[in-house]
Chains A and B, each alone.
Chain A
Amino acid sequence: MFNWFTPKRETWLFRVNPALKFIVFFAFLIITLVNQSLPFALSQAILYGILFYGFSGYSMKKLLLLSIPLVISFLSTGLTMLLFGKGETVLWQWGLFKISEESIRHALLLGSKSLSFGFVGFTFILTIQPVLFFYAMMQQFRLPSKYAYSFIAAFRLIPAVTEELQIRRNALKVRNIQFSKGVKGLYERLQSYTVPLFAQSIRRAQRIAVAMEAKQYQMGAARTYYYPTRYNRIDVVFVLIMIGSLTLAFLLSVYQ
């Protein structure tokens, strides 16, 4: 499953300090969130789209596959706004549905914001190695090591849980378990999967925690780092490019 997340080529985005990338992307998404201007929102979506399709280093096939949820969220947020949004200048009305100029603007605004979030989120996930990200968060931003290692250890457990899910599915088939129909059946199904999987996972997590402490891990103690992460020239380039292109996007939206 994790092999799927191997890029075709490692672009310059991969070399940016992952923690810095996180902070910059996070800050930019806050701008996206509070912005109310439609042209700016559109140009931001285009900017992040260029980042996603052009520089994530994955094959177009995979990127298009990942685009499916983005299109769905664009359409669902956009359509709701389009058909039910408030507005004075009504263009078309049928029953509950009412399309106005304002609702079109809002639909596009919201849609491009959700696109921006999707593009940036995926670009981030596709261009970092989780372990390095947490190492950088510990080193550059003083993230307490206990949080970093809980994420790293949890990440390691994902394959085990998916395997157990598969075994559980087979075991239920072999035991010839028949679920009720409708909502009750859904509840039964949920329960028959979650209880054993949780029990296994909790036990495993606790054992790993004890094993970590047995290896002299101490919360809050000073530590050295196997993967040193620091700032490089590429980080300056990254920040400049990001700020530059956002400014450009802003200017284009103002003087269109």
Chain B
Amino acid sequence: MNNISVTDLRLKFPGEDALVFKDLSFSVQPGEKVLMLGPSGCGKSTLLQVLSGIIPNSIELPMKATSIQLPDSWGFVFQDPDTQFCMTYVDEELAFVLENLHVPREKMASLIAEVLKRVDLHLKDVHTPINEMSQGMKQRLALASVLLLEPNVLFLDEPSALLDPEGTQQIWTSIKEATADKTVIIVEHKIDLIADWVDRVVLFNDHGVILADGSPADIFANFQEELKRYGIWYPGVWEEYKTSDGFQLMMLNRQAVSSQEKIHIEDFHGYRGQVEKISAKHATVQAGDWITIVGENGSGKSTLLLSLMQLLRTNGVYEVNGVAIGWKKKKRQLPKGLSLVFQNPELQFVTNSITEELTVSLHGMPKADADMYAKELMRLFNLPDSVSRHPYQLSTGQKRRLSVATALTPSTDILLLDEPTFGQDARNTFAILEKLEQLRTKGMTILMVTHDTEIVENFATAVWNVVDGVVQTDSGVGGAMNVQLVHT
């Protein structure tokens, strides 16, 4: 094994003036486990692609370097579990790699079985559709397919960013087991599971310059300010946030807003086609409640939101603001006062500018008032006040904030959110949570699906647990008990 290095790297994205890297030099010793940290957009992922040769071999970008030493053999695990596979079944996907390597057909089955064992994927049948696996399992499959390449060097580009806590745990366990003797270079924001496993941490600043390079202990002790600023989920970030003055002040005498009943549910059922997917015996929500909806993947959390929004057929007693809601097939209007924010922001944008995006749902409001309203929302959600900027051109965090803001029309008083902080860095997560708390104190009622136990413990006023399509509102699950609302 030789080491990997690049000297005086310069690289730029077409159409942008600034260089991503200006004379960057970087090298990794064989067997080293390196974690690269930095704000989003600083070029960490780009550097991974340069070191692997994906840039410029697969992605052509203008770049130059005085010298560059690429690994002889390498594997790459990407962030998105849904865009790494070209085949439909587990065995076919792994066989695709073996075919590329020109492995004879007879040897394939045993190699496939062996590599699946290495990543702890125990399937009844290797001919399982990839679509039926959880996101965490898909990432382990991605790791397995890469291990078949027998790589000396492994590049990991945020492999757990889009996984729930359970999936995150699984993928890192598998990675640690499978790569003990390999060089591993990681880009990741969620680092509590690997912070003490890596040998070396490299910290980048906004301009793609290496700010610090050292042992994890050194970096986490001496560069907390930067880590916080860059939104990195370093170990202890929640503890620190909870002791911050801002959070303390926000939570001081956190009050119930009113006792007005916003949602009332009695024997409520939601259907996909003819099949019942979700049911709730009895539940009530009051104005200013912040309810977190928790439960395993596929238990029906998102289905519950779709049912409450009346995008699925429902029956039973369901009242919003005291008005009985009945499911009508031809009904165009959704329940008044409710709005839903889906997971993927881009699928919710409907116009070509931020202002339009915030005013398009304000039917019947004079234009001047609507523009004022949009300005106010842009200020509240820290969105760039740019007339020409297309919503797609925003950063991931901005897109997410905009998608929440678009749901806030003057008539919205109940907000349904499907994992609004999912895949966001620490800074964006806290920003979104603070905006939501601000809205809540003004009377907004929030129902939010989340996997994050810290959010449940620190922000929820009540927890609904969804188990196999049944909503449990009185479960003692979750830590909401320590959040006391002062009823006045």
- Write the residues of chain A forming the contact surface with B, with a CB cutoff of 8 angstroms: 131, 149, 152-153, 155-156, 159-160, 164, 167-168, 170-178, 192, 196, 199-200, 203-204, 207-218, 221-226, 228
B342 touches A171 (CB 8 A): yes
Determine if B323 is an interface residue (Cβ-Cβ < 8 Å). no
Q: Which residue of B lies closest to A172 (CB)?
A: B350
Determine if B96 is an interface residue (Cβ-Cβ < 8 Å). yes
> In the complex, how many angstroms separate the beta carbon of A191 from the nearest chain B beta carbon?
10
Name 24 A/B residue pairs within 8 A (Cβ), A-sorted: A131-B92, A156-B85, A156-B87, A164-B347, A170-B342, A172-B350, A174-B407, A175-B350, A175-B406, A177-B350, A178-B363, A196-B347, A200-B344, A203-B83, A207-B84, A208-B83, A209-B58, A212-B96, A213-B54, A223-B100, A224-B99, A225-B105, A226-B98, A226-B99
Q: Which residue of B lies closest to A154 (CB)?
A: B86
> In the complex, how many angstroms separate the beta carbon of A58 from the nearest chain B beta carbon?
21
B344 touches A167 (CB 8 A): yes
- Chain B residues with CB under 8 Å of A156's CB are 85-88
Determine if B392 is an interface residue (Cβ-Cβ < 8 Å). yes
Complexed CA–CA distance, A255 and B223 (Å): 94
Complexed CA–CA distance, A152 and B361 (Å): 40
- Chain A residues with CB under 8 Å of B270's CB are none
> In the complex, how many angstroms separate the beta carbon of A61 from the nearest chain B beta carbon?
18
Assuming A152-B86, A176-B363, is B350 touching A215 (CB within 8 A)?
no
One of B31-39, B72-80, B182-190, B246-254 at the interface = B72-80
B100 touches A214 (CB 8 A): no
B92 touches A218 (CB 8 A): no
Q: Which label, helix, strand, loop or mixed, suits the secondary structure of the A interface? A: helix
- The residue among A176, A208, A225 with the most chain B CB atoms within 10 A of its own CB is A176
Complexed CA–CA distance, A168 and B343 (Å): 11
- Chain A residues with CB under 8 Å of B103's CB are 224
B83 touches A207 (CB 8 A): yes
A171 touches B348 (CB 8 A): yes
B97 touches A216 (CB 8 A): yes
- Chain A residues with CB under 8 Å of B460's CB are none
Complexed CA–CA distance, A239 and B121 (Å): 44
> In the complex, how many angstroms separate the beta carbon of A218 from the nearest chain B beta carbon?
7
Assuming A224-B105, A226-B95, is B344 touching A214 (CB within 8 A)?
no
Closest 8 pairs between A and B when the two form their complex, measured CB to CB: A226-B95, A207-B83, A153-B86, A214-B76, A213-B58, A171-B348, A211-B84, A216-B100
B347 touches A215 (CB 8 A): no
- Chain A residues with CB under 8 Å of B63's CB are none
Which chain B residues numbered 62 to 117 have a C-beta less than 8 Å away from chain A? 75-76, 78, 80, 82-88, 91-92, 95-105, 108
Assuming A216-B101, A223-B100, A226-B98, is B80 touching A207 (CB within 8 A)?
yes
- Chain A residues with CB under 8 Å of B334's CB are 173-174, 176
Complexed CA–CA distance, A210 and B80 (Å): 12
> In the complex, how many angstroms separate the beta carbon of A35 from the nearest chain B beta carbon?
39
B350 touches A223 (CB 8 A): no
Complexed CA–CA distance, A168 and B102 (Å): 42
Partner of B360, one of A159, A175, A224: A175
Assuming A213-B54, A213-B57, is B102 touching A223 (CB within 8 A)?
yes
> In the complex, how many angstroms separate the beta carbon of B330 from the nearest chain A beta carbon?
13
Q: Which residue of B lies closest to A160 (CB)?
A: B82
Determine if B318 is an interface residue (Cβ-Cβ < 8 Å). no
Which chain B residues numbered 373 to 416 have a C-beta less than 8 Å away from chain A? 392, 406-407, 409
